[in-house]
Amino acid sequence: MNKKRQRPRQPSGRPAASLPGSGPGLSGSFWKARWLPGLLILILPFALYRASLDFGYVLDDKIVLSENQFVLKGLGGIKDIFATESFTGFLGRQQDLVAGARYRPLSIATFALERAAYGLKPGLSHFWNILLYAFTGLILFRLFWMFGLGSSKRPWYLGIPFWAAALFVLHPIHTEVVANIKGRDEILALLLSLATLYGSIRYLEKRRAWWLALSGVLFFLALLAKENALTFLAVIPLSLYVFRQAGARQAAVATAPLLLVFLAYLAIRLNVIGYLLDSGKAVTGIMNDPFVESGPAEKYATISYTLGYYLRLLIFPHPLTHDYYPYQIPIIGWGDWKAWSSLLLYAGLLLLAFRAFRRKGVVAWSIWYYLLTLSIVSNIFFPVGAPMNERFLYMPSVGYCLLLAYLLMAKLPGWTARLLPGASWPALALAGLAGLGFGLKTISRAPAWKDEMALNRAAIKVSTNRARANSYMAYSLYQEGLGEQDAAKKMALFEEALPYVNKALDIYPAYTDAITCKGGLVAGLYQLDGNLQKLLEEFYQLLRHGHVPFLDQYLEYLNSHADATLMAGFYYRAGFELLAREKKDYPLAIRYLNYGLGLSPTNRQLLEGMAVARYESGDFAQALEVAQRGLQIYPASAVLREYQQKAADRIRG
Render 201-225 in DSSP notation, one character per residue: HHHHHH--HHHHHHHHHHHHHHHHH
**How far is 346 from 286, CA to CA, in rounded Å?**
27
Q: Assign 536 to helix, strand or coil.
A: helix
Looking at this protein, which amino acid is placed at residue 606? L
**How far is 474 from 497, CA to CA, in rounded Å?**
4
Burial category of 37 from C-beta neighbours within 10 Å (exposed 0-12, middle 13-18, buried 19 and up): buried
Structure confidence at residue 413 (pLDDT): 87
Which of 340, 330, 337, 367 has the alpha carbon at shortest distance from 351?
367
Domain spans in the chain, listed from the N-terminal domain onward: 40-412+423-428, 452-652
Residues 307/117, Cβ–Cβ less than 8 Å: no
| Mean pLDDT, all residues of the chain | 92
What single DSSP character describes residue 230?
G
Structure confidence at residue 282 (pLDDT): 65
**How far is 61 from 111, CA to CA, in rounded Å?**
10
Q: Does domain 452-652 sit in CATH 1.10.460.10?
A: no
Residue 92 has pLDDT above 60, yes or no: yes
Structure confidence at residue 13 (pLDDT): 60
Structure confidence at residue 81 (pLDDT): 97
- E strands, 37-92, in order: none
**How far is 523 from 310, CA to CA, in rounded Å?**
42
User: Taking the C-alpha atoms of 550, 555, 560 and 561 in order, what is their torsion angle to the nearest 10 degrees?
Assistant: 90
- Percentage with pLDDT > 90 across the chain: 82
**How far is 546 from 375, CA to CA, in rounded Å?**
36
What single DSSP character describes residue 408?
I
Length of the chain: 653
Of 303-307, 381-385, 425-429, 502-506, minimum mean pLDDT range: 381-385
Structure confidence at residue 276 (pLDDT): 78
pLDDT tens, position by position, 507-554 = 999 999 999 999 999 999 999 999 999 999 999 999 999 999 999 999
- Label residue 605 left, alpha or beta by phi (over 0 means left) and psi (-120 to 50 means alpha): alpha
Q: Give how far Cα 211 sits from Cα of 197, 237, 241, Å.
A: 11, 15, 18
Residues 397/173, Cβ–Cβ less than 8 Å: yes
**DSSP letter for each residue of 328-369:** TS----TTSHHHHHHHHHHHHHHHHHHHHHHH-HHHHHHHHH
> Can you list the alpha helix ranges (DSSP code H) found in 100-183?
105-118, 122-146, 160-170, 175-179
Structure confidence at residue 466 (pLDDT): 86
**How far is 286 from 284, CA to CA, in rounded Å?**
7
Confidence of residue 5 (pLDDT cuts 50, 70, 90): very low
Structure confidence at residue 155 (pLDDT): 92
Residue 114 has pLDDT above 90, yes or no: yes
Looking at this protein, which amino acid is placed at residue 625? E
Residues 369/238, Cβ–Cβ less than 8 Å: yes
Q: What share of the chain is helix, strand, coil (3-state, %, to 5)?
A: 70, 0, 30
| 13 or 390: which leads in pLDDT | 390
Confidence of residue 98 (pLDDT cuts 50, 70, 90): confident
Residues 627/640, Cβ–Cβ less than 8 Å: yes
pTM: 0.88
Residues 65/81, Cβ–Cβ less than 8 Å: no
Q: What's phi and psi for 526, nearest 5 deg?
A: -65, -35
**How far is 177 from 167, CA to CA, in rounded Å?**
16
Structure confidence at residue 202 (pLDDT): 95
Count Cβ atoms below 10 Å from residue 232 Cβ, excluding itself: 30
User: Taking the C-alpha atoms of 17, 23, 24 and 29 in order, what is their torsion angle to the nearest 10 degrees?
Assistant: 170
Which of 647, 642, 585, 638 has the alpha carbon at shortest distance from 615?
647
Residues 41/134, Cβ–Cβ less than 8 Å: yes
Report cis status (omega within 30 of 0) of the bond before 317: no
Confidence of residue 280 (pLDDT cuts 50, 70, 90): low
Largest alpha-carbon pair distance within the chain?
126
Structure confidence at residue 31 (pLDDT): 93
Residue 27 has pLDDT above 60, yes or no: no
Confidence of residue 95 (pLDDT cuts 50, 70, 90): confident
**How far is 175 from 168, CA to CA, in rounded Å?**
11
**How far is 243 from 15, CA to CA, in rounded Å?**
5
Residues 224/246, Cβ–Cβ less than 8 Å: no
**How far is 158 from 183, CA to CA, in rounded Å?**
32
Q: What is the mean pLDDT of residues 473-478?
A: 95
Q: What is the mean pLDDT of residues 483-491?
A: 95
Structure confidence at residue 601 (pLDDT): 95
Structure confidence at residue 18 (pLDDT): 39
Instruction: State which H helix or E strand residue 233 sits in.
Output: helix 232-244
Q: What's phi and psi for 107, nearest 5 deg?
A: -65, -40
Helix axes 638-652, 620-633, angle to 10 degrees: 150
> Can you list the alpha helix ranges (DSSP code H) found in 376-424?
397-406, 412-415
**How far is 93 from 69, CA to CA, in rounded Å?**
11
Confidence of residue 16 (pLDDT cuts 50, 70, 90): very low
Which of 243, 219, 212 has the alpha carbon at shortest distance from 144?
243
Confidence of residue 21 (pLDDT cuts 50, 70, 90): very low
Confidence of residue 300 (pLDDT cuts 50, 70, 90): very high
The answer for residues whose C-beta is within 8 angstroms of residue 34's C-beta and 6 or more apart is 141, 156
**How far is 373 from 381, CA to CA, in rounded Å?**
13
Structure confidence at residue 382 (pLDDT): 82
Confidence of residue 1 (pLDDT cuts 50, 70, 90): very low
Looking at this protein, which amino acid is placed at residue 229? A
Structure confidence at residue 24 (pLDDT): 36
Q: What is the mean pLDDT of residues 210-219?
A: 96
Confidence of residue 612 (pLDDT cuts 50, 70, 90): very high
Structure confidence at residue 83 (pLDDT): 96
Confidence of residue 4 (pLDDT cuts 50, 70, 90): very low
Q: Give how far Cα 123 sits from Cα of 56, 519, 645, Å.
A: 7, 34, 71
